[in-house]
């Protein structure tokens, strides 16, 4: 698996590129189904679906422009949470619902800008797909994220 970072407007979006190619991203990086795009510092208020900073708006705008540029690309918007601090307990149903609601918030934003709903699906994974250790605060913050996976290229 190849790990690639590219710049879309003012934010960094990271790609894990696999297998065959289709199209090109803004810097010429090939895209294909299965690629995961981490939306970086897309930040929500604690226990909320509300975005907390202007940088998050720029990230969503970058995602919109990407999907606008590639109208044949369909994506799964994937919400994630951490498993909470060490020694704490997590309500999996709550974490699943929160991650689903955050993914749906991103889908709503993209649809409100004109991306057709048939190209977008929302899925909340709760704490099941961590990218970092939940033992430290920095790792938990990395796990509380939204990313997209390219699911189809027509």
Tokens for 145, please give them: 């994220």
Domain of residue 129, CATH code = 3.30.1330.60
CA 114, CA 14: separation in Å to the nearest integer? 24
**How many folded domains does the chain comprise?**
1
User: Tokens 């294909």 belong to which residue?
Assistant: 32
Averaged pLDDT in 10-residue chunks for the chain of 154 residues: 38 38 48 81 84 86 90 95 82 95 96 97 96 91 91 91
- Which residues constitute the domain of residue 88? 2-133+141-153
CA 69, CA 142: separation in Å to the nearest integer? 28
Res 55: pLDDT: 86
Res 16: pLDDT: 40
Tokens for 44, please give them: 């929500």
Res 38: pLDDT: 83
Q: How many residues does the chain have?
A: 154
Res 1: pLDDT: 36
Whole-model pTM: value is 0.80
CA 45, CA 139: separation in Å to the nearest integer? 17
Res 57: pLDDT: 87
């Amino acid at each position: 698996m190849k790990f690639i970072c590219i710049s879309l407007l003012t934010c960094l979006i990271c790609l894990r590129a696999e297998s065959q190619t289709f199209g090109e991203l803004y810097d010429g990086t090939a895209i294909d189904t299965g690629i995961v795009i981490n939306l970086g510092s897309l930040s929500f208020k604690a226990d909320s679906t509300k975005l907390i900073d202007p940088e998050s708006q720029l990230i969503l705008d970058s995602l919109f422009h990407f999907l606008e540029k590639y109208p044949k690309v369909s994506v799964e918007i994937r919400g994630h949470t951490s498993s909470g601090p060490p020694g704490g307990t997590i309500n999996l149903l709550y974490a699943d619902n929160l991650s689903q609601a955050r993914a749906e918030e991103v889908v709503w934003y993209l649809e409100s800008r004109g991306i057709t709903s048939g190209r977008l699906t929302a899925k909340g994974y709760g704490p099941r797909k961590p990218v970092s250790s939940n033992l430290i605060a920095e790792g938990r913050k990395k796990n509380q994220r939204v990313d997209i996976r390219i699911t189809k290229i027509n």
